[in-house]
Amino acid sequence: MFAPYAGVMGVAIEVLIVDWPRVEAAPPGDREDLLTEAAFGEAYRDDLFEHGWSWSTQPGDDWFGRYAFRNTHGSYKPHVWAGFRWEYMREFVEPKVCDVVDRFLDTLFWHGLEDATGAGSRLSDRPCPWDADLLLWCPPDQVPLLAGWWRQAKTHLEILRGPFIQHAAEPDGRIGTFESFADLLTDWGEVVTEAERRGWGIVGLRC
């Protein structure tokens, strides 16, 4: 369902929400091209400072949306560093909040918490049946779980400020402030919320 963070520090990611049946209706050998065109075709804006949704206006292209995360410039590194920041602080967060943030982050980009700590999403790790180079693969039936975890986590974000500042802050580092950490989680929350609303899945293309 998601890729381990090891070996991805030098890559970029493009996050899409997609109408799952539309992708699976394409011949297996065409799916990667379909996703790549969605990520970099007509809806793509070559602006490293963009933030938010891009939607194609081409007829028949109403099956996907592309999301640009603020202050990441398309790089996967900030997502990985958000995972490191969480690892540094998580034992100082009250258990109920820690559990829900564990599940949310581990599903999306911090794969390995379950192996290292016994925590994590506890979702079944299904192999991706598509022949595509993906960092993230989350089918529609698992998106409501993610959205539910986000609804719980977002009400407790401010609780994380103190542990972050005390144990994880590095003002000159990537995702080194609480604000940048909270922004990244909030952006992921926007992705899973919109995917749930549409009944779509989520993919992250390795770039």
Q: Which residues pair with 53 in a beta bridge?
A: 67
Report CA torsion sign: 46, 44, 107, 146.
positive
Give the mean pLDDT of 52-67. Answer: 91
Query: For residue 60, how many other CB atoms are within 10 A of its CB?
Result: 7
Q: Please identify which residue in the block is written with the tokens 């911090």.
A: 110
Give the mean pLDDT of 36-65. Answer: 82
The torsion angles phi and psi of 163, rounded to 5 degrees, stand at -60, -35
Name the residue among 16, 46, 53 with its Cα closest to residue 34: 16
Q: How confident is the model at residue 11 (pLDDT cuts 50, 70, 90)?
A: confident
pTM: predicted TM-score of the whole model, two decimal places: 0.89
Query: For residue 151, how many other CB atoms are within 10 A of its CB?
Result: 14
- Look at residue 16 in the predicted model and tell me its pLDDT: 97
Q: Which residues pair with 13 in a beta bridge?
A: 206
Per-residue pLDDT reduced to its tens digit, 109-134: 876 545 445 554 456 566 777 888 89
Q: Residue 170 pLDDT > 80, yes or no?
A: yes
- Look at residue 5 in the predicted model and tell me its pLDDT: 43
**Cα angle for residues 42, 13, 81 (degrees, 5° grid):** 150
Q: How confident is the model at residue 6 (pLDDT cuts 50, 70, 90)?
A: very low
**CA torsion, ordered 181, 186, 191, 196, to nearest 10 deg:** 130
